[in-house]
Amino acid sequence: MNQKEQQTIFIDCGGLKCTVYWEDTGEFEELQPQDALTIQDRLNAGDTLIGEKSHFGDPKRGMSRAQYFEAEELLEWYQSCRDKGIELGFFSSIMTEKARRIFGIQPKTDKNDLRAISKYLKKFPQYQIMKPRTTLETHPLVEEGWEVKEEIKDMLNLSRDRKYVDPDDKASQLLTEALPEITQRVKSNTKDAFGLKVKKNGNMMKSDLKFCQLYTIWSTLIDFDGTIRLREPTGRPAGWKYVKKHIFGFSPHHGNGGVARSNLFWHGMPKYIAKKQGNKLPNKKGHLTVLKKFENFTDQEWESFRKYRKEYRDAVRDMFQVMRKMVVGI
């Protein structure tokens, strides 16, 4: 098959086969999984090949149905693509579902997944495609992050179930006491993102306070019993770079984000963006409380969405940094 130069090809795996989408021609092709790792032999230098990270960015583990290939097979494939000048990249499988919803492409099939990914990258060219790793061994930092996320998950679930008033929940008590000072230290946008307002008597106004999200950030620094959470390798509280990547999972390729990420980016951020955009929809009683689904966004709303998403992420960073300085006594 003669292909044009600098074309983009998409590949997906499902069941016992792989599906290839030749974007330039709109044609699909089915391959055996092992044949997928030789597709670069049919491409030209400068072509781009994109697959889902879950299939092509991670090696086979246990009985997982998402991974098809051993680490050695993938690494050889990565090198072969580099040698042939093929730009290999991975799309987040979490984002694939979002892409299908945005463009109304249903049901979930390999072909529809590939169509949706193609359309998403055309509409949002700023999306960061993940590059192949040089090693597929799990880094100790990643393993540490998994363990800490589990600890924080248990803490967040317990505190929420007990409404943040359990007498043993010293973290909630300390955060409540620290909120007036935190409010003085953070930026104005951060105050807005987390509903931080202080009454004339010095107490916090609770009407807009996003205590769950504040507690989530606080939990990366303070344990349930009120002691400082220290990283085992350093003996110090975690820094922003570590928390951003390994606890909150800012990257679209974060994998299992856990409860902390969910609290911030599935509950906190959408409400903040909807408030800023002013596009909440009425509920059955006519109150503007329903968040507009992103698949119904206008182009203008997508533009403002990216702006306000950045604002919220900046607010999370500012809040963490202020909290950390207070914890370490700065």
Domains contained in the chain, CATH given = 8-123 (3.30.420), 140-327 (no CATH)
C-alpha 292/C-alpha 43 separation (Å) is: 42
- Written as one letter, the residue type at 16 is L
Contacts of 201 (CB under 8 A, 6+ apart): none
Q: In a 3-state reduction of DSSP, which class is residue 64?
A: coil
pTM flag (> 0.85):
no
What Rg, from alpha-carbon coordinates, does the chain have? 23
Helices within the chain (DSSP H only): 33-36, 53-56, 71-83, 93-103, 110-123, 140-161, 170-185, 188-194, 211-218, 240-242, 258-261, 269-277, 299-327
52 touches 118 (CB < 8 A): no
Q: Which DSSP helix (H) or strand (E) runs through 21?
A: strand 17-22
Would you report the helix, strand and coil content of the chain in percent, each value rounded to 5? 50, 10, 40
pLDDT score at 277: 93
Whole-angstrom distance between the N-terminal and C-terminal Cα of the chain? 65
Q: Is 54 exposed, middle or buried (0-12, 13-18, 19+ CB in 10 A)?
A: buried
pLDDT score at 3: 46
pLDDT per 10-residue tile (average), the chain, 330 residues:
74 91 97 93 97 91 75 96 97 91 94 97 94 88 88 95 95 97 97 95 92 98 97 94 92 73 94 91 81 88 94 98 93
C-alpha 294/C-alpha 256 separation (Å) is: 22
Q: In a 3-state reduction of DSSP, which class is residue 38?
A: coil
Report the interhelical angle of 269-277 vs 299-327 (nearest 10°): 130
pLDDT score at 256: 65
240 touches 324 (CB < 8 A): yes
pLDDT score at 62: 65
CA dihedral 271, 248, 125, 110 (to 10 degrees): -100
Residue carrying structure tokens 């916090």: 204
C-alpha 235/C-alpha 5 separation (Å) is: 53
pLDDT score at 282: 82
Residue carrying structure tokens 């049919």: 42
Phi then psi for residue 48, to 5 deg, are -115, 130
